[in-house]
Amino acid sequence: DAKTTQPTSMDCAEGRAANLPCNHSTISGNEYVYWYRQIHSQGPQYIIHGLKNNETNEMASLIITEDRKSSTLILPHATLRDTAVYYCIVSRSGGGADGLTFGKGTHLIIQP
Amino acid sequence: DGGITQSPKYLFRKEGQNVTLSCEQNLNHDAMYWYRQDPGQGLRLIYYSQIVNDFQKGDIAEGYSVSREKKESFPLTVTSAQKNPTAFYLCASSRARGSDEQFFGPGTRLTVL
């Protein structure tokens, strides 16, 4: 699986949109971009994934650049409960034989 | 409710003792995984199983063992051969290979004294 690069930490004001960037310049054509988050001392939670088109669900939006070398996770109206570590992962599948490779992620802190 | 259960949440053991961590899922998922997380770090894959009675080593399998006798259960044994066993252990499951997402349990925090 390709590696990803994320900022170590970010702040965002409550009620504003949180935009979390991720670089994955060596992504292969058959690899998806997955986002998970982990609230302190809990198991990670799936957020969203995409291949090349932008995706949206009830939690977030995922914007993938045309060359697929980077992506942005958008939480449209951040709340204090969104404070967590956010992981950007590239993988051929979410439940693949080799599991998922989690880096250190971005610690997003939502400020009141 | 459907989900993944890990027990206990906190576990203390003396150095040199084997310890088994429980993971049960009622999601009817074929695949199950064990990850280890150290403070401030991401998750690292220990073992995974795509089907009953079959499992594969992940990136850091040394000092660990698993079994998959039932679809819903995937226990992890931390043996005395594991040099630094104190960590947060997470179990996950997913549908067959190609699934969209993994579902994680709440984790077990193991402290070896």
Mean pLDDT by 10 residues, chain A (112 residues): 87 97 93 93 93 94 96 97 96 68 93 95
In A42-81, where do the E strands start and end? 45-50, 55-56, 61-64, 70-75
Model pLDDT for residues B24-53, shown as the tens digit of each residue: 999 999 999 999 999 888 999 999 998 999
CA separation for the pair B13, B110 (Å, rounded): 8
Report percent pLDDT > 90 for chain B: 74
pLDDT given at position A47? 96
Q: Which residues does chain B have within 8 Å of residue A49's beta carbon, measured at their own beta carbons?
A: 100-101
Whether B61 contacts B46, CB under 8 Å:
yes
Whether A95 and B100 lie within 8 Å, measured CB to CB: yes
* pLDDT at residue B81 greater than cutoff 90: no
What is the distance in angstroms between the Cα of A36 and the nearest Cα belonging to chain B?
Answer: 9
CA separation for the pair B35, B8 (Å, rounded): 16
* Residue in chain A nearest B100 by alpha carbon: A94
Q: Which residues does chain A have within 8 Å of residue B104's beta carbon, measured at their own beta carbons?
A: 43-45
What is the distance in angstroms between the Cα of B81 and the nearest Cα belonging to chain A?
Answer: 24
By CB atoms closer than 10 A (0-12, 13-18, 19+), residue B69 is exposed
pLDDT given at position B101? 86
- State phi, psi for A97 to the nearest 5 degrees: -65, -25
pLDDT given at position A101? 83
* pLDDT at residue B2 greater than cutoff 60: yes
Stretch 40-79 of chain B: residues touching chain A, C-beta under 8 Å: 40-45, 48, 50, 56, 58
* pLDDT at residue B97 greater than cutoff 90: no
- State phi, psi for A81 to the nearest 5 degrees: -70, -10
**Residue B113 banded pLDDT, cuts 50, 70, 90:** confident
Which of A3, A9, A33, A98 best tests the B interface by mutation, with the highest count of B CBs <10 A?
A98
